[in-house]
Amino acid sequence: MHVTTLTLAFLTGLPSAIAATPYSTWMASSSLARKAAVDRRYVSSVLLEGIQKAAILHPNSTLLTHASNSISSLVDSAGTVTGWNPTAYSLDDLRVGNNILYFWNAGGRNNTSKYVNAVKSLRSQLDHYPRTPTGGFWHRDPVYKNQMWLDGLYMAQPFYATYTSYFDASNTTAWNDIALQFDLIEQHCRNKTSGLLVHGYDESKTAVWADSITGASPHVWDRAVGWYFMALVEVLQVYPKESANYAKLQGYLKTLAVALAKTQDTAGGWWLVMDDPYPGKAGNYIESSGTAMFTYGFLKGVRTGLLDAKYRTTAEKAYKLMLSKFVKTESDGTISWQGTVEVGSLNSNGSYEYYIGVPLSPNDGKGVGPFISASVEYETWKET
């Protein structure tokens, strides 16, 4: 259904019209109505990607124009991203590169476009980005020196891989470097028993939370795992299938899919702190952004042939829970999103008490964006 029908429903109060609106466009249009912030930060980028996907699946010029104009507004005529500092190193700042690449590609790959200069500038930062002794990108300099977080794999690697596929597809050094980032996370963060991954690791083993032998943080935080799950799915969309790394990365994805299916709560969601014995413990709860990310990863993974079709059952159970638990219909006909934890950072002691003590953030783009993307995948499946 087009946004014009949704707008009419707002004005006339027709519940049948609202109920017929796909959740992807309904949540996207609700975000526009709430005037969600538009900036170069990763939260805005993730939300705008969801809006763009909804607008493509259910042709909607209002939503697509908003996403396109928002990204355009962040890049000046010379191709400089607003506020971009090539010597300020944070993987979070690279996430907007994916949005820019999408609109450059969708617009016909005009090589005189300002977007080309923008993505080349973002990509070139990786050539002098600080790394751990074994080659992993620091999460941020200098605050998280020698630390790799699962979050950072999503922020940088899909952009790195998509850029390489568009501009430098024969560069095996780049493809190997992309795989290396996942290899390091797997070596240090994967629990071989549960199949889950802890939030991150410190290669120097000096962080207060770092294990003295592995450097790993102590807990499995759901949103970090969600970022990582999506990173694998997205990178594998463009990674060369003839490379031995492709099968290895897909193996990482499949192993994580098994672990996620096993740790799904009976109601359909996933706990904020996922490692035993914490699910069900006092203070822990089913968290919405991680649940949305896992749902998206399962559905897109199945649709694109990366995962077995059996995981649609896992995803559908989660999706139905999200609709009943986290999506709230407001009096003005918009819908809002609940249950997303505000932040999770290893700039802490990394304890269970830290994670459960972080407040929830209503209508947070870190949950809204993945929910819209998950809805697009769910609606694609059901419509076909």
> What is the distance of C-alpha 236 from the center of its chain?
14
Residue 337's nearest CA partner among 309, 317, 358, 360 is 360
Answer yes or no: are the C-beta atoms of 129 and 137 closer than 8 Å.
yes
What radius of gyration do the chain's Cα atoms show? 20
Dist. CA 341–CA 344, nearest whole Å = 8
Residue 80's nearest CA partner among 104, 100, 98, 109 is 100
**Residue with the two structure tokens 């500092």:** 85
**Residue with the two structure tokens 């994967």:** 190
Answer yes or no: are the C-beta atoms of 73 and 114 closer than 8 Å.
no
Name the active-site residue from 151, 202, 222, 364.
151
Element of type H or E holding 71: helix 61-73
Active site residue 151: yes
Q: Enter the tokens of residue 159.
A: 């952009």
Dist. CA 44–CA 332, nearest whole Å = 24
Contacts of 320 (CB under 8 A, 6+ apart): 268
Active-site positions read 151
